[in-house]
Chains A and B, each alone.
Chain A
Amino acid sequence: MNLLSLSGNLLFVAFIAYLIATFFFGGAVKNSHDKTEAASRHADRWGKLAISITIIGFISHLSYFITRWVYTGHAPVSNMFEFTTAFGMFIVLAFIVMYFMYRATVIGLVALPIAILIIGYAAMFPTDASPLVPSLQSNWLTIHVITAALGQAVLSISALAGLVYLLKVVKLDKPSKDRFFLEAVMFFLVVVIGFVIASTTFSAMGYEAEFTYINKEEQQAQIKYDMPPIFGMNQYQQLTEGTMKPLIETPPLINAKKLTTVTWALLIGSVLYVLIRLIARRRVSAIFQPLVKRANLDLMDEIGYRSVLIGFPIFSLGALVFAMIWAQEAWGRFWGWDPKEVWALITWLFYAAFLHLRLSKGWEGKKSAWLAIVGFAIMIFNLVVINLIIAGLHSYA
């Protein structure tokens, strides 16, 4: 077994550990419903087991990171798979640290599933180790990306605490904006699962379909779909025999392959969502609500605020200051209004607004929780949409 496959196995172990730990956190939270001493001791034991398994998972995850680093010779943060996996790892790290600061088991119940989804999402991208292009051959790659990812991970904890807060306080028995958007968040999470299902299914089937098309520079190009083409590229010509004919042809500006992927994820996610609703006969938020019943709102609010306070300086350092130093060194300009840079600035401005709203306008509790979720959405947008859809210096996959 070479180092690369060892590293892959370690990541898999981490994934499984997080999955198991989630159930233990569930057990810990469930048992804390009962206020008797025996039950609380029981809950304590579940909680301890849960965090121990989380830590084992994290160590395995970290070992994946290190072995891959040794194998490729550079910090494994240079493509979509590597970066997203590292982001998931830092979320778990931030959660572990927060756990020992506040002992909030209920956060684990949200943090680990989110980490699992992130790793699952990452695994849908090519995992090949490739050498670095010249512009990435710098120690600043390691320093900038790791600090920025760590900052984002700590900031994400705020959204997790916010989610617990909202799941607990939002009344699900009567219609409200809160109820609608909370369910929208749940739907989005189900769509991520839909994406993972779509990718794994079609790749297990070995689906491939090649097309030629005319790109927006009016030149002929070739493209390979790995999912049945719902949308076809501009003036496509089918090259692979016996595969599905695209249903709709798109103008040159639109990348029909990506649109197809998004559509499949939405389709399968929606089907899954409807199935869950039919089987459970209630909202997805309502399924999770009982689990957070015992969550301490004050503590959730505090964790939400504290993680922004801790994460904001790290994010500023990694995503802006180190980025500027590197850009100055590589290109002779510390700032170039590259889309990814702009979105890092937007994230920074957003959390600056968050802090000012909280300090001066007293936005606490529900408002603050929603802001934290919007902040997380901005970071995910920056990771997914900016990297994959908008071309720039940071396009990875």
Chain B
Amino acid sequence: MEKETVICTCGHENPFGTKLCEKCGNPLTEEEKNTKVVDMRYDGKAIRSKTYNKSFVDKVWNFFSSVKVGITLIVILLLAASIGTFLPQEMYVNAGSPIADKGAYYESVYGFFGKIYYMLGLTDLYSSWWFQILVGMLGISIIVASIDRGIPLHKSLKNQRVKRHASFMKRQRVIASGEVADGETTLNDIEKQLKAQKFKVRRDGTALLAEKNRISRYGPYINHVGLIIFLVGVSLRVVPGFYVDESMMVKEGEMVEVPGMPGYYFKNEKFILETHDNNGQLSGEQEKQGVNVVAKNFQTNAKLYKQPEGAVSGDTSELELVKEAEIRVNHPLQYDGYSIYQMDYRLGDLSGMTFKLMNKATEESYGELTIDLTNPSKMYDLGNGSSVEILTYLPDYDGFKDGQPVTKSPNPNNPAFIFMMKTPETPEGETSFVEIKNTIEPLGENQNMMKFVAPQTSNASGLTINKNSTLPILSVGGIIFLLGVAIGSYWNHRRIWVQITDNQLLLATHTNKNWHGMKRELDKLSEHVALPAYEDQLALTDSEDEEEGDQ
């Protein structure tokens, strides 16, 4: 299909959809011919989305390139985001809450509203499919709109003619016209003065074009590029290996395989909690909101070990110490792209239990044993022919199921044991089921028992392991965005066209923003060169001022 063209009076052949002739700026559309001030947003270039609207592709393109659609998406996102702050999101709901089911939790705490809020999925709004689709649509809108307008604008700014059609100049916002004494000298003076005002000046016979800070027009496109890079960075998080976010609870003295960090082991040497001396001044409100003003420091003294290359998972025989660190809030341990953060702590966790093996009748002791609840031994020899064997260990005993005792979790919250106790008097052994408050003797009455003596407690550090390989991409996106915003905001593109024919001067100006600055440039120019007064054709009408005259 042959493309239509629009031929200007100057003879230049413009692409279909052009508003102002690419060469001389003469208005080409009826709309532009009839306005007082022409639309200079893209310097009158043909914009694809404003020109074609036939095929499906055109329609999709036009939808996403529309600034109206873009603004609508921004407003919808803004409203949606605010709804998510009505109630705490699921990730902030206390995991230790006695109500395991989140829905029931919201209903019990926030009533009917909480139930509806949860049912609508608003408690996990920001990871919902529709929220992410909205962000994605905004991203597409940014890309399409930038290409749609950015490329024509760039072309037009690159190929600017000095000489413009009089009707183009008269339709600029701030203009001046009138007679000057000596055309040639005036034009030379203008050129000299505008150069002194740091304009780049070009001449074409009796016409002059002065321009500064063109880069400002590219600011929005630069910041959009930054935003897109940022969004791409965020979405790369789903690529395996790019993003690790794990957490672990490690007791003092314990060494664990680091989740999400294969081949590494972490040892918690010591957990430190320091508090300020403030006579316990904590208001009820602060307590309620979890603000802990007494805390001064949370710290885990840690050692990070690495397995040698090719070691079998779980083989801790040849660990190499790679890093020793004091992990505090705001001061994570950093190694090999991973960071380990101090997040949480637990004081006084049950870590061991001490029992005494004794004769029930005489209360005579055969000796004591301490069981490490994370790593219990199979057999404890008490000497003198007495021993205790752990037949079954249930760290988090949860009753019997199908005749078998079961554990809820591997954490020693409610430990229970089945012991085999042997003494010189009972060499064949006696079986005893012991949980914290209860002892069962399943195979008949025993002579001996395991008496609970004391608990051992330890502190545990809650840590998160994070690796985010998308951070460099996000940083680049963020920096480009900020640069673009600064360029677009702090610089102003200013242009001044001057034509003098037969001592008749016609001056027109254009700036993308800050007309006061533009006028100040003209004021400065007028101080040095005698010029007719300029006129702002779009000054906001100030009806109150006229009434003022009556008073």
> Which B463-494 residues have a C-beta within 8 angstroms of A?
464-466, 468, 471, 474, 478, 481-482, 485-486, 489-490
| B339 on interface, CB distance cutoff 8 Å | yes
**Partner-contacting stretch, out of B56-64, B409-417, B450-458, B510-518:** B510-518
Q: Are the C-beta atoms of B330 and A135 separated by less than 8 Å?
A: yes
User: B111: which of A251, A333, A336 is its contact (CB, 8 Å)?
Assistant: A251
- B542: nearest chain-A partner, CB-CB: A297
> Which B31-50 residues have a C-beta within 8 angstroms of A?
41
| B67 on interface, CB distance cutoff 8 Å | yes
Interface string of A153-197 (1 = CB under 8 A from B): 000000000000000110000000000000000000000000000
Q: List, in ascending order, chain B residues with CB within 8 A of A343's CB.
A: 82, 85
- B76: nearest chain-A partner, CB-CB: A349
Once A131-B296, A216-B109 are accepted as A-B contacts, the answer to whether A342 and B85 lie under 8 Å apart by CB is yes
Q: List, in ascending order, chain A residues with CB within 8 A of B292's CB.
A: 133
| B295 on interface, CB distance cutoff 8 Å | yes
User: A316: which of B74, B88, B328, B481 is its contact (CB, 8 Å)?
Assistant: B481
Q: How long is the Cα–Cα vector from A168 to B287 in the complex, in angstroms? A: 48
**Partner-contacting stretch, out of A62-70, A238-246, A306-314:** A306-314
Q: List, in ascending order, chain B residues with CB within 8 A of A215's CB.
A: 288
Q: Are the C-beta atoms of B85 and A390 separated by less than 8 Å?
A: yes
User: A222: which of B68, B284, B540 is its contact (CB, 8 Å)?
Assistant: B284
**Partner-contacting stretch, out of A52-60, A86-94, A113-121, A357-365:** A357-365
Q: Are the C-beta atoms of B516 and A302 separated by less than 8 Å?
A: yes
Once A316-B482, A337-B89 are accepted as A-B contacts, the answer to whether A302 and B515 lie under 8 Å apart by CB is yes
| B293 on interface, CB distance cutoff 8 Å | yes
Least CB distance from A22 to B in Å reads 23
Least CB distance from B235 to A in Å reads 13
| B245 on interface, CB distance cutoff 8 Å | yes
Q: Are the C-beta atoms of B466 and A332 separated by less than 8 Å?
A: yes
Q: Are the C-beta atoms of A298 and B539 separated by less than 8 Å?
A: yes
Q: List, in ascending order, chain A residues with CB within 8 A of B328's CB.
A: 134
- A257: nearest chain-B partner, CB-CB: B285
Q: Are the C-beta atoms of A353 and B74 separated by less than 8 Å?
A: yes
Q: How long is the Cα–Cα vector from A345 to B138 in the complex, in angstroms? A: 15
Least CB distance from A303 to B in Å reads 9
Interface centre among B288, B471, B515, by most chain A C-beta atoms within 10 angstroms, is: B288
Q: How long is the Cα–Cα vector from A390 to B82 in the complex, in angstroms? A: 12
Q: List, in ascending order, chain A residues with CB within 8 A of B551's CB.
A: 33
Q: Are the C-beta atoms of B296 and A134 separated by less than 8 Å?
A: yes
Once A310-B490, A332-B464, A361-B68 are accepted as A-B contacts, the answer to whether A137 and B330 lie under 8 Å apart by CB is yes
| B402 on interface, CB distance cutoff 8 Å | no
Q: Are the C-beta atoms of A353 and B75 separated by less than 8 Å?
A: yes
> Which B321-339 residues have a C-beta within 8 angstroms of A?
328-330, 332, 339
Q: Are the C-beta atoms of A330 and B329 separated by less than 8 Å?
A: yes
Q: List, in ascending order, chain B residues with CB within 8 A of A208's CB.
A: none
Q: DSSP class of A's interface residues: helix, strand, loop or mixed?
A: helix
| B110 on interface, CB distance cutoff 8 Å | yes
Q: List, in ascending order, chain A residues with CB within 8 A of B278's CB.
A: 130-131
| B310 on interface, CB distance cutoff 8 Å | no
Q: Are the C-beta atoms of B482 and A321 separated by less than 8 Å?
A: yes
Once A346-B82, A349-B77 are accepted as A-B contacts, the answer to whether A306 and B293 lie under 8 Å apart by CB is no
Q: Are the C-beta atoms of B466 and A333 separated by less than 8 Å?
A: yes
Q: How long is the Cα–Cα vector from A45 to B388 in the complex, in angstroms? A: 97
Q: List, in ascending order, chain A residues with CB within 8 A of B490's CB.
A: 309-310, 313
- A292: nearest chain-B partner, CB-CB: B544
> Which B506-534 residues have a C-beta within 8 angstroms of A?
513-516
Interface size on B, as a range, is 35 or more
Q: How long is the Cα–Cα vector from A392 to B78 in the complex, in angstroms? A: 19
Q: How long is the Cα–Cα vector from A338 to B81 in the complex, in angstroms? A: 11
Q: Are the C-beta atoms of B71 and A134 separated by less than 8 Å?
A: no
Q: List, in ascending order, chain A residues with CB within 8 A of B89's CB.
A: 337
- A218: nearest chain-B partner, CB-CB: B108
Interface string of A134-147 (1 = CB under 8 A from B): 11011010000000
| A386 on interface, CB distance cutoff 8 Å | yes
Q: List, in ascending order, chain B residues with CB within 8 A of A102's CB.
A: 516
User: B516: which of A130, A131, A299, A334 is its contact (CB, 8 Å)?
Assistant: A299
Q: List, in ascending order, chain B residues with CB within 8 A of A299's CB.
A: 516
Least CB distance from A210 to B in Å reads 10
Q: List, in ascending order, chain B residues with CB within 8 A of A296's CB.
A: 542
User: A134: which of B41, B110, B298, B332 is its contact (CB, 8 Å)?
Assistant: B298
| B290 on interface, CB distance cutoff 8 Å | yes
Once A134-B297, A353-B78, A357-B71 are accepted as A-B contacts, the answer to whether A395 and B289 lie under 8 Å apart by CB is yes
Q: How long is the Cα–Cα vector from A301 to B78 in the complex, in angstroms? A: 25
Q: Are the C-beta atoms of B515 and A313 separated by less than 8 Å?
A: no
User: A312: which of B41, B485, B548 is its contact (CB, 8 Å)?
Assistant: B485
| B341 on interface, CB distance cutoff 8 Å | yes
Q: Are the C-beta atoms of A329 and B71 separated by less than 8 Å?
A: no
| A352 on interface, CB distance cutoff 8 Å | yes
- A348: nearest chain-B partner, CB-CB: B78
Q: List, in ascending order, chain B residues with CB within 8 A of A216's CB.
A: 109-110
Q: How long is the Cα–Cα vector from A169 to B330 in the complex, in angstroms? A: 51
Q: List, in ascending order, chain A residues with CB within 8 A of B542's CB.
A: 296-298
Least CB distance from B39 to A in Å reads 9
Q: How long is the Cα–Cα vector from A224 to B292 in the complex, in angstroms? A: 19
Q: List, in ascending order, chain B residues with CB within 8 A of A131's CB.
A: 276, 278, 293, 296
Q: How long is the Cα–Cα vector from A352 to B332 in the complex, in angstroms? A: 35
Q: Are the C-beta atoms of A332 and B329 separated by less than 8 Å?
A: no
Q: List, in ascending order, chain B residues with CB within 8 A of A33's CB.
A: 551
Q: Are the C-beta atoms of A133 and B539 separated by less than 8 Å?
A: no
Q: Are the C-beta atoms of A134 and B329 separated by less than 8 Å?
A: yes
Q: How long is the Cα–Cα vector from A298 to B537 in the complex, in angstroms? A: 12
Q: List, in ascending order, chain B residues with CB within 8 A of A297's CB.
A: 540, 542
Q: List, in ascending order, chain A residues with CB within 8 A of B514's CB.
A: 302, 306, 309
Q: List, in ascending order, chain A residues with CB within 8 A of B283's CB.
A: 224
Q: Are the C-beta atoms of A133 and B295 separated by less than 8 Å?
A: yes
Least CB distance from B5 to A in Å reads 27
Q: Are the C-beta atoms of B296 and A332 separated by less than 8 Å?
A: no
Q: Are the C-beta atoms of A337 and B126 separated by less than 8 Å?
A: yes
| B382 on interface, CB distance cutoff 8 Å | no
| B379 on interface, CB distance cutoff 8 Å | no
| B116 on interface, CB distance cutoff 8 Å | no
Q: Are the C-beta atoms of B548 and A293 separated by less than 8 Å?
A: yes
Q: Are the C-beta atoms of B482 and A317 separated by less than 8 Å?
A: yes
Q: Are the C-beta atoms of A133 and B485 separated by less than 8 Å?
A: no
Can you offer 18 A-B residue contacts whose CB atoms are under 8 A?
A130-B293, A134-B328, A251-B111, A253-B111, A293-B548, A297-B540, A298-B536, A302-B515, A309-B489, A321-B478, A330-B341, A332-B341, A332-B468, A333-B245, A345-B81, A356-B71, A357-B71, A360-B71
Interface positions of B (Cβ within 8 A of A): 41, 67-68, 70-71, 74-75, 77-78, 81-82, 84-85, 88-89, 91-92, 109-111, 126, 245, 276, 278, 283-285, 287-293, 295-298, 328-330, 332, 339, 341, 343, 464-466, 468, 471, 474, 478, 481-482, 485-486, 489-490, 513-516, 536, 539-540, 542, 544, 548, 551
List of 4 A-B pairs having minimum Cβ-Cβ separation, nearest first:
A332-B466, A360-B67, A134-B329, A339-B85
Given contacts A168-B544, A321-B482, 10 further A-B contacts (CB under 8 A): A130-B278, A131-B278, A215-B288, A253-B110, A294-B548, A298-B540, A330-B330, A332-B339, A332-B341, A353-B74
